[in-house]
Structure 1
Amino acid sequence: MEHEKTFRTKTGFCHILSDKIILSRDGIIGNVAKITVGNGISRILLIYSTISIFLIYSAYSSFQKGENVSVLFFGLLAIFLIYGIIKSINNSATPIIERSKIKEVKFINAKVGLTRSRFEILFEDENGKLKKRLIMLPGSLNDGTNETEKALTIMKGERILAT
């Protein structure tokens, strides 16, 4: 079998092969992600859009009743979700990325207690469109620091991430 290097992710494992990167899902979190997201993000964006529409409707109803605090709360929450939808529109959940199609790889370190470390891979999909694939690394409760170091070592060793 071809030589591969593997590290843990939030929902499974990332396998670095000589010609491609394969993301596999494992365990309970991976199974839930497989059901809700699948290999595309359109389903989750549709869910967020539905929630945003409901929040906008709730803000409008509260406005008609003169409940200004509710208007502000529902409105801000809807704006936050819409911002997330717009920012995520070019994201991909593809499990296989050809290394030859990768344009750029960034590493974003975790903000303690707020975010996880992650890789952002900008690549060209089969239709020639630029897409972004996030590889979320394990959090602090799952030995995230050690797994992040291991992932960084592998990505730099394979010359996917610039040193």
Structure 2
Amino acid sequence: MNGEEKRFKTKTGFCHILTDRIILTRDGVIGNISKVVVGKSITRVLLVYGGISAFLFYSAYDGFQRGETFSTVLFGLFGLYLVYGILNSLNNSAIPSIERNKIKSVKFKKAIFGLTRARFILVFEDENQKMKKRLIMLPGSWDNGLQETEKALKIMREEKLLD
């Protein structure tokens, strides 16, 4: 790295690639909101999703009691979708600093235009020797996303982090 810090823009701030660790910082309005809402743990977000899914299941049950098939199916499917998302996110982490020697793999997922953002998925071992997943969401198409994604890919390849 020749003493220079390599960084690229993320959805909520910047990702700094250092010789010994990766540091994710939050910046701007979106970053400040995510500091308050998420912090270092995604537990609050998962609890909110759990509350919403409980409400959806209650609404589905209520619709079933009244004989409303459409609302029963609709609310039930949305509730199941949220539960699926919660289960998939249980091993996710919002930790801002990850030691490079603890990183087991880094994968890149392309964006689906208009639906998803490009992202890196870092699998790492936390301080309790548990495998965790950290998502690094890249900027969207409205925020110069394509150029920022190319820059991020170049840095991750130069640092030999990308699988």
Q: Deviations over 1:81-120 (max 9, x none)?
A: 0000000010000000000000000001111111111000
CA distance in 2, matches of 1:53, 1:111: 29
The corresponding residue for 1:141 is: 142
The corresponding residue for 2:91 is: 90
The corresponding residue for 1:67 is: 68
CA distance in 1, matches of 2:160, 2:75: 46
1:150 is displaced (CA, Å) by: 0.3
| TM-score of the superposed pair, with normalisation by structure 1 | 0.97
CA distance in 1, matches of 2:21, 2:139: 22
1:3 is displaced (CA, Å) by: 2.9
CA distance in 1, matches of 2:139, 2:83: 27
- Aligned counterparts, 1:79-158, within 5 A: 79-158=80-159
CA distance in 1, matches of 2:116, 2:58: 31
| 1:59 match: secondary structure | helix
| 2:49 match: secondary structure | helix
The corresponding residue for 2:31 is: 30
Q: Deviations over 1:21-70 (max 9, x none)?
A: 00000001001111111111111000000111111111111110111111
CA distance in 2, matches of 1:36, 1:68: 36
The corresponding residue for 1:12 is: 13
* Aligned partner letter, 1:81: L
Identity of aligned residues (%): 61
**Residue correspondences, number:** 161
| 1:90 match: secondary structure | coil
CA distance in 1, matches of 2:48, 2:79: 13
Structure 1: 5+ residue runs without aligned partners? none
Question: Does 1:159 pair with 2:130?
Answer: no
